[in-house]
Structure 1
Amino acid sequence: MSLLRMFCVFTFAGLISVLNADAQTSDTIRLKEVEIHSDRNNLFDQGSHITNFDSSTISLAPNQTIAELLQQNSAMFIKSYGAGGVAVISARGTEARHNNVLWHGFNINSASLGLSDLSIIPSFITDNIQLIHGGSSPVNGNAALGSTLILNNHKPEFKKAFKSMLNFETGSFGNYQGNASVDFSNDHVTSATKVFYHTSENDFTYINTTHRLKPEVKQTHGAVSGYGFLQDFCFKTGSNQYISAGIWYQFTNREIPPLMTVPESHAEQRDSVLRTYLNYRILINKHSFKVSAGWFQEYQFYVDSKSARDLDYLVINYNGEFEWRYFYNDKIIINSGVSSSLAQASFKEYDQQRQRNTTSLFSGISFRPFSGWDFHASVRSEFTNVQNPPVAPAIGFNGNLLRNKLYLVANSGISYSIPSMNDLYWIPGGNAHLKTETAFSHEAGISLFPGDSVLPQFRITGFISNVDNWIRWQPTTGGIHSPDNLQQVQIKGVEAQVSWTKSAAKLMLTLNANYSWNISAIVASENPHSAAIIDKQIPYIPEHRIAGSIYLHWHQFMLAYQQNFTGITYTTADNNSHLNDYATANVTLSKNINIQKTGIRLYFRVTNLFDAQYQVMAYRPMPGRWISTGVTLKLNHH
């Protein structure tokens, strides 16, 4: 059945049900609040490996970026271009462009680059971050061959409440950070306000291993500063009607430090981002309708006084979406919708203003045939003014094998990634003849939830993806880098998670461990010059990543130890050059003090405890051991 026919069938069924609503009043099901307010990713995640970072995890380091949060609490590889530099996610052996970041349902990846810089997004802007490993269900959009990162807030609670938070932190290398939030709600409205600021000189010392004498030098021209705010509102206009709106503004100014092979740098980059959204949701009997709109503006200014380069880049995105959800009964939920977006990019390097129009149709069904077994099937198709990618179906399930303690999960589907604007239009080097990357992905795993403190919770997942037309930028005969489609890349690997908690009296011990093994290699190519890179690991995708943590709570004290390991990372396609493996450790000690309705948290943290000297990207040094200390004040009033 074609996507259009499936979409029409689901929609027609829903309209018939609306017309018959009066006749069905007596057996209208009792809808769960989570199903009414949930984003569709929560309804169509059966068979997916999902990692949740809740407010308790985020609050342990209130000034960390999302890049730092993922680096310390998951086995995802974060490509960091040095302290204060760009940081992007590489999940399951994919490139940064294969990982989506969603905010209120909208993809906030740059239309020009096809990725998001996680080094400038504070984790504290949201109270729930969800990471869906692998290509998520097509109802959530595509291009997510590696992962989908969802910035969520918990469902609004319409009751009288007020709470506020203020945090300040200072540390090594001229590091000063602060943030504050105010949340207010009553029976009809909720409001959440967040502001943040940070500045750092990043003048750390490191060993320059590119020099024959390996001297200890101080990084120069690496300062970074930024500020921003978010404001979210949700209005309950009726018993089953809600209007939500929000704005997110952020400005970052950073000096770009020299590579280890270069004596100095005079380059600077300023990023300004403004994002807004508005949505309306209504529940009519068994039907939920949602209309959303978003407007995003990204502005970047790059200047290099030494080379007299002065460049600015402007991208504007217009987004709209209509979504219909039908709660047939307590076993079946149907979801269909249409979305449209327009991205306009004004770049000097494009020679003219470029734009991308995208229209998407999506449909999905979530089905529970019997208790403990959940299935989903979904499909999506996109139409653009550039090229039309293939229809993307997906199926998945969760199966309860043993009394809510042992689960079997699996999913399979097609994902795709359209070339970014830079891939197509950048002068010099852009390739207007690039094809869409298409991935055929499968995964399966088991999860163990013993339900007691003797055995740990455990999950292991195996996955494999075959990606056709993988895009790679490479040097040409003229010395200019240009993208091209590789014939086929195969990605395979294993992810494992272990968690164990033990409590006794006022003492609680929690252990967490995450491991990922990723093989990502070119397995076929029509290019006769590609023989040297066949079956070689793709550059900057390490095979092994480990992240572990130990949390010890006693009375109002908390001691946390975090350990990370990243295996050898190849820097060339033929795997003849590589960066050494490295391990870093962090330790945090905190104390909570409660005075009536005010909570005070004092903390002290040592980052890179053992002073490891390492690089994530070649010739871009990372800081050694450094310390920070801070205080958080919380006021709650109900």
Structure 2
Amino acid sequence: MHRLFDRAGRKAGRSVVLAWLRWPGPRIEVAGFFMGFSVVRCGLVLLGLGCVLGARAQERSDTTLTLPPVVVEGERVEQTREAGRRLWRLEAVELERTGATTAAELLEARTGLFVKRYGSGGLATLSLRGSGATQTLLLIDGHRVADPQSGLIDLTLLPTVLLSSIEVVHGPAAATYGSGAIGGVVRLYTLRPAVRPGGRVALRLGAYGERSLGVVAHAGAGRVAVLGAVEHSRTIGDYPYSNPLPPPAVRRREGADRSMTSAFGKVRYEGTWRLEGTLWLTEARRSLPGPGNAPPVDAHQTDRQRRLLLLAERPLPAGRFTLRGSYQHTLLAYVNRFAGEADTTRTRGLALEATLDRALHPHWALTARAEARWERAALRGGVDQRAVALALHLSGRQGRLRLYPALRLDLYATAGRTFHALSPRLGLNLALKEGMLHLKGLVGRAFRAPTLGERFFRPGGNPDLKPERGWTVEAGLYAQLRPFVLELTAFQTTLTDQIVWYPGFVAPGLQLWRPINVGRVRTRGLEASLRAEVPLAASLRLQSGLFYTFTRAEDRSNPSTRAYGHQLRYVPPHQLKAFLDVLAGPLTLGLDARRTGRRYLTTDETQALAPFTVLDAHLRLTQSVARTRLSFGLTVENLTDTAYEVVRFYPMPPRHVRVQLRIDLLP
């Protein structure tokens, strides 16, 4: 019976992959139907495999098997010291203390990431270990959410009111997640519903016309729990700044207004299967003021995002089986009346992932994963991309040594062209003193598939682009000496076939920018982090942390150019983040500091933006009455009134104040 099932499964799997990758899909509705049908077949094959393995494990149910730590996004059971890579985590209490309103502000304040921001309300993107925004992967509850045309996601469109925690995984993760995880992965986790009724209301007011109102409510009955949330925010953004060009003068930011509404709902069922469905809707409208050294223009942008995230998980006698599915629809409408330009971008995406975690031995566990994705963008009348992937991960221990080997194969098909990427990885962790002192190491390969925009944007797209590929080697030390937790990591990444947009002459006086695979980058660096929690009295505690990064990301493409051997543009060589929270009963005082080194504006390092240091102060007073908790928060951003720019000619706000009132109805 098992052999018969194995033969049928292999045949069905081959038919799904070949038919899906080759099928042209002329219309989005038909493409979505067939993609979903093929994905369901693939999921059923893996589901059947899980049932067979579960049945076999049931036959040995009298044997006790202990699963070693395994990375499971929904449960977050992996500890920093137990893997061969660095992981930095922010829990719900830190999200609340900082007073951050968006994921951009939070990641900027308390992680080792560099957040590239075009002003306070403009585009904000990620950079980790010198990688570009498309080379750092962002997940929400384990699902990809980047736009398939641009490969980006604007962090200002992710409000913190909907988040429960954040994890930043440093280093290559293509063996787990596939394309885009070259510099690392940022995992965002959303709110979870509770059966007992509860909720909260948060009102926020700030300088320069900032105001927002957010409401969260949850309830349930029996095994079903439901959560709903909505937040609406507005800002004018007319803060003063110094004109960067002569004549010197203080100007006010014009055309920087912004409004955003987010609606969020989640349903959760706990039974033999754990089922979860999430719907996230976002609509934002903002004016685009342009560089601060230029007069304002009449331009604005509208973003609409629709996400449906599904999860089904079932425990097995020796592991668990998980199914994830997602649908995403995005729209970006740009209008510039000053220049007479208008453009609308529409994308859609479907994805299904099946994961089987299973114990093989008291000290070894296996994770098998199959994925299928379909993405479409409204370029050249409509282009789509299909991808399938298979991944195997082992985790186990032999004495004091823990090993984490992994291998993943990705297959892509776009407009009749196909390519594959093989991503191996080996992580290790040697316990010199269990739980206190560990040596860590990792070697892995990562890649990034070209986006649909890079291939098919008109004019200038290049359908012949190859994926970017790179290797990373890193070594680190983890030490836990209470009350301190110290971690040091040294790394080197070599990247080939990097996609670079180059100008070409198509006619006298006319240039056309086109992406080509010419880039080679070598990145070396050091990461150092320290955390501490020190109790001083019965109701007095200190919590502090810092994160320092040194990054040398050099262009190694062409020795005959002036850029060879120099730092990449907008990659700060030095960056330091530090925070201190003083918890005294119901009162919390906090200070966040960040020092960002120079960012070179030219490829030969002849021009650069000056380093800057920014301090933010927080005060929070909390009082519980019966089943209600009242919180008052006061945040002073840019406490020292520093004039600075993260991106040239996009000034950031001076010192300003934000207040927040929050009422929690406790379950």
Post-superposition shift, 1:597?
1.4
Determine whether 1:53 maps to 2:81: no
SS in 2 for 1:541: coil
The letter for the 2-side match of 1:393 is P
SS in 2 for 1:209: coil
Among 247, 271, 275, the residue aligned to 1:243:
275
SS in 1 for 2:161: helix
TM-score calculated relative to the size of structure 2: 0.88
Question: CA separation of 1:154/1:316 partners in 2, compared to 1, >3 Å: closer, same or farther?
Answer: closer
Post-superposition shift, 1:519?
0.7
Question: CA separation of 1:484/1:46 partners in 2, compared to 1, >3 Å: closer, same or farther?
Answer: same
1:16-38 superposed Cα distances (whole Å, 9 cap, x missing partner):
64443443121254779998884
1:16, 1:297 → 2: CA distance?
36
Question: CA separation of 1:405/1:176 partners in 2, compared to 1, >3 Å: closer, same or farther?
Answer: same
Q: Tell me which residue corresponds to 2:554.
A: 521
Alpha-carbon contact 2:192-2:227 (below 8 Å) kept: no
Determine whether 1:261 maps to 2:296: no
SS in 1 for 2:650: coil
SS in 2 for 1:59: helix
The letter for the 1-side match of 2:392 is S
Question: CA separation of 1:144/1:308 partners in 2, compared to 1, >3 Å: closer, same or farther?
Answer: same
Give identity over the alignment, percent. Answer: 20
Post-superposition shift, 1:272?
0.3
SS in 2 for 1:536: coil
1:266, 1:285 → 2: CA distance?
62
Alpha-carbon contact 2:68-2:396 (below 8 Å) kept: no
1:11, 1:218 → 2: CA distance?
59
Alpha-carbon contact 1:63-1:179 (below 8 Å) kept: no
Among 190, 200, 224, the residue aligned to 2:258:
224
Alpha-carbon contact 1:37-1:155 (below 8 Å) kept: no
- Which segment is superposed worse, 481-490 or 89-98? 481-490
Q: Tell me which residue corresponds to 2:380.
A: 351
2:464, 2:310 → 1: CA distance?
36
Among 116, 121, 125, the residue aligned to 2:162:
125
Kindly report which structure 2 residues correspond to 1:328-367, keeping only aligned pairs within 5 A, or say none: 328-346=360-378, 350-367=379-396
Alpha-carbon contact 1:35-1:43 (below 8 Å) kept: no
Alpha-carbon contact 2:198-2:218 (below 8 Å) kept: yes
Among 542, 545, 550, the residue aligned to 1:512:
545
Among 380, 391, 402, the residue aligned to 2:422:
391
Q: Tell me which residue corresponds to 1:620.
A: 650
SS in 2 for 1:501: strand
2:641, 2:253 → 1: CA distance?
16
Kindly report which structure 2 residues correspond to 1:197-212, keeping only aligned pairs within 5 A, or say none: 197-210=232-245, 212=246
Alpha-carbon contact 1:46-1:411 (below 8 Å) kept: no
Among 388, 395, 405, the residue aligned to 1:377:
405
Question: CA separation of 1:569/1:589 partners in 2, compared to 1, >3 Å: closer, same or farther?
Answer: same
Q: Tell me which residue corresponds to 1:405.
A: 436
Alpha-carbon contact 2:593-2:613 (below 8 Å) kept: yes
Q: Tell me which residue corresponds to 1:71.
A: 108
Alpha-carbon contact 1:100-1:115 (below 8 Å) kept: no
SS in 1 for 2:501: strand
Alpha-carbon contact 2:73-2:141 (below 8 Å) kept: no
Alpha-carbon contact 1:100-1:149 (below 8 Å) kept: yes
Q: Tell me which residue corresponds to 2:612.
A: 582
Determine whether 1:444 maps to 2:475: yes
1:407, 1:524 → 2: CA distance?
37
Kindly report which structure 2 residues correspond to 1:8-407, keeping only aligned pairs within 5 A, or say none: 17-29=53-65, 38=74, 42=78, 46-136=83-173, 138-153=175-190, 160-210=195-245, 212-238=246-272, 241-346=273-378, 350-370=379-399, 373-386=401-414, 387-407=418-438
Alpha-carbon contact 2:68-2:364 (below 8 Å) kept: no
The letter for the 2-side match of 1:588 is H
Alpha-carbon contact 2:286-2:301 (below 8 Å) kept: yes
Q: CA RMSD in A?
A: 2.5
Post-superposition shift, 1:269?
0.2
Alpha-carbon contact 1:34-1:155 (below 8 Å) kept: no
Question: CA separation of 1:21/1:41 partners in 2, compared to 1, >3 Å: closer, same or farther?
Answer: closer
- Which segment is superposed worse, 196-205 or 432-441? 432-441
1:213, 1:332 → 2: CA distance?
68
Question: CA separation of 1:15/1:181 partners in 2, compared to 1, >3 Å: closer, same or farther?
Answer: closer
Question: CA separation of 1:72/1:134 partners in 2, compared to 1, >3 Å: closer, same or farther?
Answer: same
SS in 1 for 2:613: strand
TM-score calculated relative to the size of structure 1: 0.91
SS in 1 for 2:108: helix
1:192, 1:616 → 2: CA distance?
37
Post-superposition shift, 1:515?
0.6
Among 495, 505, 508, the residue aligned to 1:467:
495
- Which segment is superposed worse, 484-493 or 199-208? 484-493
User: What residue ranges of structure 2 are gaps of 5+ in the alignment?
Assistant: 1-9, 15-45
- Which segment is superposed worse, 87-96 or 508-517? 508-517
Alpha-carbon contact 1:359-1:382 (below 8 Å) kept: yes
1:156, 1:137 → 2: CA distance?
31
Question: CA separation of 1:504/1:399 partners in 2, compared to 1, >3 Å: closer, same or farther?
Answer: same
1:148, 1:35 → 2: CA distance?
13
Alpha-carbon contact 1:91-1:146 (below 8 Å) kept: yes
1:416, 1:43 → 2: CA distance?
26
Determine whether 1:458 maps to 2:490: no
The letter for the 2-side match of 1:107 is R
Kindly report which structure 2 residues correspond to 1:526-565, keeping only aligned pairs within 5 A, or say none: 531-565=561-595
1:586-622 superposed Cα distances (whole Å, 9 cap, x missing partner):
0111211111111111111110011111111111111
1:300, 1:153 → 2: CA distance?
24
Question: CA separation of 1:616/1:91 partners in 2, compared to 1, >3 Å: closer, same or farther?
Answer: same
The letter for the 1-side match of 2:403 is F
Alpha-carbon contact 1:332-1:367 (below 8 Å) kept: yes
Question: CA separation of 1:231/1:373 partners in 2, compared to 1, >3 Å: closer, same or farther?
Answer: farther
1:492, 1:423 → 2: CA distance?
27
Alpha-carbon contact 2:375-2:384 (below 8 Å) kept: yes
Aligned residues: 616
1:265, 1:418 → 2: CA distance?
35
Alpha-carbon contact 1:62-1:123 (below 8 Å) kept: no
Alpha-carbon contact 2:192-2:266 (below 8 Å) kept: no
2:76, 2:534 → 1: CA distance?
34
1:464-514 superposed Cα distances (whole Å, 9 cap, x missing partner):
000001112233344333222224210110011012222122221222111
User: What residue ranges of structure 1 are gaps of 5+ in the alignment?
Assistant: none
Among 371, 396, 421, the residue aligned to 2:452:
421
1:37, 1:605 → 2: CA distance?
32
1:257, 1:110 → 2: CA distance?
23
Question: CA separation of 1:317/1:427 partners in 2, compared to 1, >3 Å: closer, same or farther?
Answer: same
1:194-235 superposed Cα distances (whole Å, 9 cap, x missing partner):
21111100000100112x222100010000010112111221
SS in 2 for 1:20: helix
Determine whether 1:476 maps to 2:504: yes
SS in 2 for 1:26: coil
The letter for the 2-side match of 1:473 is W
2:517, 2:291 → 1: CA distance?
29
Question: CA separation of 1:28/1:189 partners in 2, compared to 1, >3 Å: closer, same or farther?
Answer: farther
